[in-house]
Amino acid sequence: MYDDNPTIKNIDESKQGDAFFKEQISGEKDGNGKKFYIESYGCQMNFSDSEIVASILSDVGYSSTVDMEESDLILINTCSIREKAEDTVRKRLRIFDKLKVEKPGLLVGVLGCMAERLKKKLLDQEKLVDMVVGPDAYRDLPNLIATAEDGDKGINVFLSREETYSNINPVRLGSNGVTAFVTITRGCDNMCSFCVVPFTRGRERSRDPYSILAECTDLLGRGFREVTLLGQNVDSYKWKNPETEETVDFADLIEMTAKLDKDMRVRFSTSHPKDITDKVMYNMAKYENICKYIHLPVQSGNSNILKKMNRTYDREWYINKINRIYEIMPDCAISSDMISGFCGETEAEHEDTLSIMKIAKYSMSYMFFYSERPNTLAHKKYPDDIPLKVKKRRLSEIIKLQNELSTLHNNNCIGKIYKVLIEKESKKSKEDLAGRTTHNKMVVFPREEATIGSYVYTKIDACTSATLKGHLVSKEDFLKQQ
């Protein structure tokens, strides 16, 4: 298979809450002499899908490269969640199109959600690509490449009700060798009015739990020490064995995963508030290696806006859910997503979002202003009537408050000792290492004799709104604190 030590470049393009991530994946492998270059935009599901694509291409002899100018195939894995994401992809495609003029025979393909949403428009109207491949059609890539090489356009955007890629071992390109994502569901059945995901990724389906456990076991054997179970809505995971009638829900799955090895951490993302159960929370509390962190998007703190968003809960219900989490796990960290300026949002309704942030005490959040997406329920039912200037002002207020909450959250860590899984060297100094606590907080500390991939105990000395700073102490010191 692929080289286990590929390189990666991560760029955080977040500006004023417009959280946006780009991943450039590469590795080296002897094959048929052809090379591919791939970029991924958007959510972690896209990053995970790119690892599946890399595995499929590896099996047919392609090697990867960080230099797009030496590639025979350029792929861009796209996001449609916001207009800015699609605009960024179009800019990249124009750059690739110029390279095609300089390098005859170079193929360019669009993968993922934008491919699914725009389909033939990318091929016929904009004429910037040779292939358009939806999220459920990656197995067909070798055939689509052959079609494009013959001079025809390759397109497969069929949405499957069964595809989970459960028998494909993803190539962990760009990995730090410590943490990995494991996809457990695909698609989404929640019809949030602002969201294109149900239309671009299809209906929700859950992967066989035993293939998930096998993938986690393989990662463990290769030295990984943390897995994040990934899905658009992990808490609705449900699998039923057609032969034995055995059923496995999400609470069962995280328990099964935690039992594989007590030294392997388990995280998950993302949770829909309506689906996270007491059973999930009790299993989180029961196992030390299930991280005490939940990403629980609220989107808005106002019941009227939540109804327009079709979130299926109201303000009071969400607050009760937050209280229940803290009741079962008092030390749990909770993060969220917020959208400012949704259709018809008043100042009072915006203030409700600010107030629910204070009630929930979010450790961090992803924050956006509303971006109308074509063909969503909101696009069909509600006018996008909040001026951009107002959206941005409200967003800046949300960001300001979250920074205050994050700083307060981190200040409460000063003087305490945390178990940290070391993931990497610090960006600022090779003399420092960085890793995360169970609460998903990044800690930077002097290296001393510690090594990447190991657990250490750190006492927190200082913080910013985003990072904790500390020094190493003994396990005995940690146990005394308990």
The mean pLDDT of 417-438, rounded to a whole number, is 96
Same domain membership, residue 301 and residue 285? no
Q: Residue 302's domain is classified under what CATH number? A: 3.30.750.200
Does one domain contain both 121 and 20? yes
Weakest mean pLDDT among 152-166, 378-392, 465-479: 152-166
Residue 97 has pLDDT above 70, yes or no: yes
Could you say which of 370, 392, 412 is where a domain stops?
A: 412
Place of tokens 């995360």: 436
pLDDT, residue 280, reads: 98
**Is residue 343's pLDDT more than 80?**
yes
Most confidently modeled range among 7-21, 31-45, 144-158: 144-158
State mean pLDDT over 363-389: 95
Query: 100 and 215 share a domain?
Result: no
- Average pLDDT for residues 42-46, to the nearest whole number? 84
In a domain, 169, yes or no: no
Q: How confident is the model at residue 387 (pLDDT cuts 50, 70, 90)?
A: very high
Lowest mean pLDDT among 61-65, 173-177, 385-389, 394-398: 173-177
CA gap 17, 393 in Å, rounded: 12
Same domain? For 214 and 123 the reply is: no
Judgement on whether residues 280 and 382 belong to the same structural domain of the protein: no
φ/ψ of 389, rounded to 5, equals -60, -40
Q: If DSSP codes are grouped into helix, strand and coil, which group holds residue 44?
A: helix
Residues 314 and 407 in one domain: yes
**pTM > 0.85: yes or no:** yes
Of all helices (H) and strands (E), which one includes residue 459? Answer: strand 455-463
Calpha distance 183→268 (Å, rounded): 10
SS3 of 153, please? Answer: coil
Looking at every residue in the chain, the average pLDDT score rounds to: 90
Q: What is the DSSP letter of 336?
A: E
Q: Where are the beta strands (DSSP E) in 153-244?
A: 154-156, 179-183, 185-186, 205-206, 226-230, 238-240
Regarding predicted confidence, which is higher, 26 or 466? 466
* Same domain for 350 and 223: no
Report if residue 258 sits inside a domain.
yes
Q: Are 80 and 373 in contact (CB under 8 A)?
A: yes
- pLDDT tier at 6 (50, 70, 90 boundaries)? very low
pLDDT at 193: 97
Characterise 215 by phi-psi region: left (phi > 0), alpha (psi -120 to 50), beta (else). alpha
Q: Are residues 424 and 394 in the same domain?
A: no
Secondary-structure breakdown of the chain: helix, strand, coil percentages, each rounded to the nearest 5: 35, 25, 40
* Dihedral, CA of residue 374, residue 376, residue 379 and residue 385, to nearest 10: -100
Query: pLDDT category, 10, cuts 50, 70, 90?
Result: very low
CATH number at residue 31: 3.40.50.12160
Count CA within 13 A, CB hemisphere, residue 277.
Answer: 12
Q: Please state the length of the chain.
A: 482
Residue 419 has pLDDT above 50, yes or no: yes
Inside any domain, residue 442 = yes
Do 427 and 396 fall within a single domain? no
Give the mean model confidence (pLDDT) for residues 252-260.
Answer: 98
pLDDT in tens, 173-229: 777 899 999 999 999 999 999 998 888 889 999 999 999 999 999 999 999 999 999
CA atoms within 13 A on the CB side of 70: 10
CA distance 424 to 201: 33
Query: How many angstroms from the chain centroid is the CA of residue 342?
Result: 23
- What's the pLDDT at 32? 66
How many whole angstroms separate alpha carbon 478 and alpha carbon 160?
49
Confidence of residue 47 (pLDDT cuts 50, 70, 90): confident
Q: Is residue 311 part of a domain?
A: yes
Tokens of 193: 């009015």
Closest CA to 441 of 461, 459, 418, 424: 418
Question: What burial letters (b/e) apply to 285-311, b meaning 16+ CB within 10 Å?
Answer: eebebbbbbbbbbbbbbbbbbbebbeb
Per-residue pLDDT reduced to its tens digit, 281-313: 999 999 999 999 999 999 999 999 999 999 999
Compute the distance between CA of residue 15 and CA of residue 406 in angstroms, rounded to an integer. Answer: 17
Residue 112 confidence class, pLDDT cut points 50, 70, 90: confident
pLDDT at 125: 59
Q: Does a structural domain hold residue 167?
A: no
The answer to the question of residue 2 being in a domain is no
Dist. CA 455–CA 240, nearest whole Å: 36
Q: Which of 120-134, 225-239, 244-258 shows the lowest per-residue confidence on average (mean pLDDT)?
A: 120-134
Counting residues of the chain whose pLDDT is more than 90, the rounded percentage is: 73
For residue 163, being part of any structural domain is answered with no
Q: What is the pLDDT of residue 23?
A: 42
Per-residue pLDDT reduced to its tens digit, 117-148: 877 777 775 678 999 999 999 999 999 999 99
Indicate whether 12 and 148 sit together in one domain. yes
Residue 170 lies in a domain: no
Q: CB atoms < 10 A from the CB of 411, how many?
A: 14
Whole-number percent of the chain with pLDDT over 70:
93
277 preceded by a cis bond (ω within 30 of 0): no
DSSP string of 63-83, one letter each residue: EE-S-GGG-SEEEEEE--SSH
* Phi, psi torsion values for 375, nearest 5 degrees: 75, 0
The residue from 156, 186, 207 where one domain ends is: 156
Condensed to tens digits (0 to 9), the pLDDT of residues 314-339 reads 999 999 999 999 999 999 999 999 99
Last residue of a domain, one of 412, 440, 466: 412
Task: Count other Cβ atoms within 10 Å, centred on residue 49.
Answer: 24
User: Is residue 9's pLDDT more than 50?
Assistant: no
Domain co-membership, 88 together with 128: yes
Q: Read off the CATH number of the domain in which 434 is found.
A: 2.40.50.140
Looking at the predicted structure, is the pLDDT value of residue 2 above 70? no
- The pLDDT of residue 89: 87
212/110 same-domain check: no
247 vs 95: CA distance, rounded Å: 49
CA distances from 105 to 20, 32, 101, 311, 381 (A): 32, 16, 9, 47, 45
- Per-residue pLDDT band at 31 (split at 50, 70, 90): low
Structure tokens given for 55:
């595995």
Mean pLDDT computed over 149-155? 90
Residue 6 to residue 26: CA distance in whole angstroms: 6
Question: What domain range includes position 264?
Answer: 176-291
Question: What does the pLDDT read at residue 28?
Answer: 42
Is 352 a residue whose pLDDT tops 80? yes
Q: For residues 390-416, give the mean pLDDT.
A: 98
CATH number at residue 287: 3.30.750.210
State the helix-helix crossing angle for 347-360 and 388-411, rounded to 10 degrees. Answer: 20
Domain count of the fold of the chain: 4
